[in-house]
Amino acid sequence: MVWVALTLPALAQDQNAPVPTPAPGAEGAEPSAPTPEPQNRPVEELPVPDDRPAEAAPEATPDTAPEANGEATVPPVVPVPETPPDAAAGPSQAPSEAAEPAPAPQPAYISPDKARTKPEPDAPQTPDAAVTPEQAVEAAAALKDAEDCEAELTERGVRFSIEDTISDGDCGVLRPVRIEALSSGVTVAPPTQMLCRTALALDIWVSDGVVAAGSELLDGAKLESLSQASTYVCRARASESRISEHSRGSAIDISAFGFDGGRTVEVKAQTPSSADDKFLAKARRTACGPFRTVLGPGTDADHDTHFHLDIAARNNDSTYCR
**pLDDT digit string (tens) for the chain, length 322 residues:** 444 444 434 444 444 444 444 444 444 444 444 555 545 554 444 454 555 544 544 454 444 444 444 444 555 555 555 555 444 444 444 444 556 666 665 555 445 444 444 444 454 455 556 779 988 999 999 999 999 999 999 999 999 999 999 999 889 999 999 999 999 999 999 999 999 999 999 999 999 999 999 999 999 999 999 999 999 999 876 656 678 999 999 999 999 999 999 999 999 999 999 999 999 999 999 999 999 999 999 999 999 999 999 999 888 889 999 9
> What does the alpha-carbon distance between residue 276 and residue 153 come to, in Å, rounded to a whole number?
30
Strand-pairing partners, residue 294, are 309, 321
pLDDT computed for residue 316 by the predictor:
85
> What does the alpha-carbon distance between residue 189 and residue 227 come to, in Å, rounded to a whole number?
5
> What does the alpha-carbon distance between residue 264 and residue 256 come to, in Å, rounded to a whole number?
7
> What does the alpha-carbon distance between residue 284 and residue 184 come to, in Å, rounded to a whole number?
18
What residue type is 131 in one-letter code? V
Collapsing DSSP to helix, strand or coil, 188 comes out as: strand
> What does the alpha-carbon distance between residue 76 and residue 267 come to, in Å, rounded to a whole number?
123
CA distances from 74 to 60, 63, 256 (A): 11, 9, 127
How many CA atoms within 13 Å lie on the side-chain side of 106? 4
Q: Quick one: which of 280, 264, 161 has its CA closest to 217?
A: 280
pLDDT computed for residue 16 by the predictor:
46
> What does the alpha-carbon distance between residue 71 and residue 228 come to, in Å, rounded to a whole number?
129
Q: Quick one: which of 218, 202, 204 has its CA closest to 281?
A: 218
pLDDT computed for residue 69 by the predictor:
46
pLDDT computed for residue 75 by the predictor:
54
Q: Quick one: which of 292, 293, 296, 318 has its CA closest to 305?
A: 296
pLDDT computed for residue 236 by the predictor:
75
> What does the alpha-carbon distance between residue 23 and residue 32 come to, in Å, rounded to a whole number?
9
> What does the alpha-carbon distance between residue 248 and residue 171 come to, in Å, rounded to a whole number?
6
Phi, psi of 246 (to 5 degrees): -65, -30
pLDDT computed for residue 94 by the predictor:
47
> What does the alpha-carbon distance between residue 286 and residue 204 come to, in Å, rounded to a whole number?
10
pLDDT computed for residue 315 by the predictor:
87
CB 261 within 8 A of CB 268: no
pLDDT computed for residue 171 by the predictor:
93
CB 230 within 8 A of CB 246: yes
Query: What pTM did the predictor assign?
Result: 0.60
Strands (E) across the chain are located at 2-3, 47-48, 159-162, 166-168, 171-173, 177-181, 187-189, 223-230, 251-259, 264-266, 293-295, 307-310, 320-321
- Residue 126: which residues within 8 A CB-CB, separation 6 or more? none
So where are the chain's domains? 134-321
pLDDT computed for residue 166 by the predictor:
95
pLDDT computed for residue 243 by the predictor:
84
- Residue 168: which residues within 8 A CB-CB, separation 6 or more? 234
